[in-house]
Each structure stands twice: as structure tokens, then as C-alpha cells.
Homo-oligomer: A and B are copies of this chain.
């Protein structure tokens, strides 16, 4: 089985894919669009697409792709901890470090730790896993990277300090997308477009709430047809297929199931 992810080998998404499906091969893609096109085209068996980060919120492009690729289905969900590590060359020691490299967002998420080393130069690069590959290629023990532990393992570097991020509760949620839907699970994701008149969204939410379907999250995205008109994505907990079908049937508008799945470690 081949699972695709966005990023370079050793990225957080790569680590999440390996944890979700141990033994699967993983393959990196340059963008979310290329990743989703690859599973749609049969080049890979599944794609691990990030849909939300617990700090930054929902990932807009992912939701647009979930809508565009109506033939693809979410078949699993996983929440992966984004743990930043200080990573050096095999002969590095923390006391001798003078420079750290990582993606700008990763550097922003380690303010507290970096503040204890004010003299360190901070260099922004395109990718956290790529930063690790870079410092290994340089072979200069004074230059370290901030990134995922998996990248240290893959590129032959050393984790000097684990969990250096400011917020210990930083998670990214992913959907595993495949060409064949799954009919059982505890969670469901549905997408709807309703007419833009008073009460339509409330009526859609009532269609779920009246049937005991618990709304876990909601994302609004432009419909990309009329400015300031939207489509909505709902994630439902304790899902029951019959009740979900009944709820979708009661919605006045376009509605479709993105997937039925369970949260997996």
C-alpha cells in the first residue's frame, strides 16, 4: 500500500501516515493539489490530507479539494501531535550551536525555547524536514534544525532536545482519502450547499440535531461561483448511517457525504 502526503520525506505528515498505516510505503508531493490528484488518478492508494490544525484552524485548500474530488472518500481520521525537536548533526552538542533553521511557522512556535538562546541566528527555510536534510548535507555541528523526529531518523541526524514547542497541545487532524468509500465508522463528514435565504443553515443544522447527530465542527468556504456565497462542511460524531441519510434527505439543497470513518491513532 502507498500513502501520499504533502511535503518532503520525514515531514510531520509523513510521520502521521507511517503511524496510521504501519508498514505502508509513503510518498511526498509538492502541493495538496498534486497529492489529491495522485490518489484520484490511481498513482497511490490513499492520500493523507491535513484538514485542521488545533492552533491555526481549518485548512481552506483542503476543504475545496474535498468538494472538487467527488469520487474520493475520507476513510479514516487521525490527530497527530506536532512535536518540534532540536536536531543536530551526529556530532553536535547543544552548547556549541550558533544557528537554527526551520520553516517560519515552526520558528514562531518555539519562541520560549529560542528565547533561552538569544544569540542563535534563526534562518527560515521552506520545509521542516528539508531543514534537517540541509543541516546533514552541510555537516556543520554548529548549525541545527527544528523539525520532526522522523526526519532526524531518515537523514541520519541526532535529536538534541525533544518537544521544544511553546504549546504542548498542537495537533494536526488529517483525513485519509481513498477511491472506495467505507460504510462504517463513528464519524462522518458531509458537505452541503443551501440557498442563501433566512434560516436555511439553521434548518440544515436542525436536520442533524433533530436526529441526535452531534455536530463536532463546521467549516464555511466560498462556493467559488458567487462572491460571498458559501458551502458548508459538517463533521458529525456518533454517526449512524441511516440517520445520516435521513438528515441529508431532509436538507433543501445539495448535500453529499465526504466520508464515514473512525478516528485512528
Interface of A toward B, CB cutoff 8 Å: 52, 54-58, 60, 79, 169-171, 173, 197-199, 201-202, 205-206, 208-209, 212-222, 224, 227-228, 230, 232
Contact = CB atoms under 8 A, between A and B. Distances in A.
Nearest to A199: B209
Contacts of A79: 228
A222 B57 contact: yes
A42 to B, nearest CB: 28
Contacts of A171: 227-228
Given A60-B56, A220-B220, A208 B214 contact: no
B201 A205 contact: yes
A56 B63 CA distance: 12
A202 B137 CA distance: 54
Which has the most chain B C-beta neighbours within 10 Å: A218, A221, A228? A228
Given A55-B222, A56-B60, A222-B54, A217 B228 contact: yes
A141 B26 CA distance: 49
The 8 nearest A-B residue pairs measured at CB: A54-B227, A202-B205, A198-B214, A202-B209, A199-B209, A57-B222, A169-B227, A218-B220
B218 A57 contact: no
B219 A220 contact: yes
16 contacts: A56-B222, A57-B222, A79-B228, A170-B227, A171-B228, A173-B228, A198-B209, A198-B212, A198-B213, A198-B214, A201-B205, A201-B215, A201-B218, A202-B209, A217-B228, A220-B220
Contact of A217 (B205, B216, B230): B230
What secondary structure prevails in chain A residues at the interface with B? Answer: mixed
Which has the most chain B C-beta neighbours within 10 Å: A56, A199, A214, A230? A199
Contacts of A56: 60, 222
Contacts of A208: 202
Given A57-B221, A202-B206, 6 more contacts: A57-B60, A57-B220, A199-B215, A206-B206, A217-B220, A220-B220
A150 B222 CA distance: 28
A76 to B, nearest CB: 17
Contacts of A213: 198
Contacts of A198: 209, 212-215
A54 B199 contact: no
Nearest to A60: B57
